[in-house]
């Protein structure tokens, strides 16, 4: 039975991990906004996905906030800076989700599922782009197609690539692959 008002409209999305996908990963943790370095062309690539019609959401584990290693205000400023970089490139970030506590962190799909509810996202037509096994497992558990970026030795040890439909060197290459998928072209040009 259709809901009143006709069929519900759902949208494909791209879920982006933050550290290692959008910005340079710092070890053990990116603590200060002044240390944020966006990866080359990452904001432009995210903007291209948004402009193509994908709902764009950032989903990131930030357990160091809950553990007291990263101030909440600094975390919020980092999220604002990353979102602003994408928006300045012409994209729209529908939502930014952060797991501050291990109980809802990836590989659990909680952030992805929350975003899907809030933005009418069709998870079967959506992509999770991340740089480690936790990202890939969260995408799989949510029913997304996974794209692994920046495949370093660590990710191969984790066997992250086994949970990915595609492995790309960086977000621009991942975006190019996503945008060439037949469903992406047909869904977004309607």
Predicted pLDDT at 8: 52
Q: What angle do CA 1, 55, 7 make, to 5 degrees?
A: 15
Predicted pLDDT at 88: 98
Predicted pLDDT at 162: 87
> Catalytic annotation on 44?
no
Tell me if 146 sits within 8 A of 140, measured CB to CB. yes
> Catalytic annotation on 17?
yes
Predicted pLDDT at 4: 46
Tell me if 38 sits within 8 A of 85, measured CB to CB. yes
Tell me if 150 sits within 8 A of 170, measured CB to CB. yes
The C-alpha atoms of residue 104 and residue 82 are separated, in whole angstroms, by: 22
The C-alpha atoms of residue 141 and residue 139 are separated, in whole angstroms, by: 5
pTM above 0.75, yes or no: yes
Catalytic pick from 17, 44, 135, 150? Answer: 17
Tell me if 115 sits within 8 A of 121, measured CB to CB. yes
Catalytic pick from 19, 44, 131, 150? Answer: 19
Predicted pLDDT at 102: 85
Helix (H) or strand (E) holding 175: helix 171-179
Phi, psi dihedrals of residue 17, rounded to the nearest 5°: -65, 155
Q: Which residues contact 178 (CB under 8 A, 6 or more apart)?
A: 14, 49, 54, 127, 129, 147, 184
Predicted pLDDT at 160: 83
Tokens 């996905």, located at residue: 49
Predicted pLDDT at 1: 38
Predicted pLDDT at 154: 62
Per-residue pLDDT of the chain (190 residues; tens, 9 = 90+): 344 444 456 899 999 999 999 999 888 789 899 999 999 999 999 999 999 999 999 999 999 998 888 999 999 999 999 999 999 999 999 999 999 998 889 999 999 999 999 999 999 999 999 999 999 999 999 999 999 997 676 666 678 888 899 999 999 999 999 999 976 644 444 4
Q: Which of 177, 72, 67, 75 is nearest to 129 (CA)?
A: 177
Predicted pLDDT at 121: 97
In order of start, what are the domains of the chain with their CATH numbers? Answer: 13-182 (3.40.50.1000)
Q: Which of 7, 34, 25 is nearest to 62 (CA)?
A: 25
């Amino acid at each position: 039975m259709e809901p009143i008002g006709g069929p519900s409209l759902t949208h494909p999305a791209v879920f982006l991990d933050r550290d290692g996908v959008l910005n340079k990963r710092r070890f053990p943790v990116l603590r200060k906004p002044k240390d944020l370095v966006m990866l080359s062309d990452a904001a432009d690539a995210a903007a291209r996905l948004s402009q193509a019609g994908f709902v764009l959401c950032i989903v990131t584990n930030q357990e160091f906030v809950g553990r007291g290693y990263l101030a909440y205000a600094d975390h919020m400023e980092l999220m604002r800076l990353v979102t602003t970089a994408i928006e300045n490139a012409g994209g729209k970030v529908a939502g930014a989700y952060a797991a501050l506590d291990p109980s809802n962190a990836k590989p659990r799909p909680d952030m992805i599922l929350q975003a899907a509810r809030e933005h009418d996202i069709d998870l079967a037509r959506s992509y999770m782009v991340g740089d480690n096994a936790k990202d890939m497992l969260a995408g799989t558990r949510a029913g997304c197609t996974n794209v692994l970026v920046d495949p370093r030795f660590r990710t191969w040890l984790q066997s992250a690539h086994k949970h990915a439909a595609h492995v790309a060197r960086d977000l621009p290459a991942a975006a190019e692959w996503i945008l060439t998928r037949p469903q992406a072209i047909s869904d977004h040009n309607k």
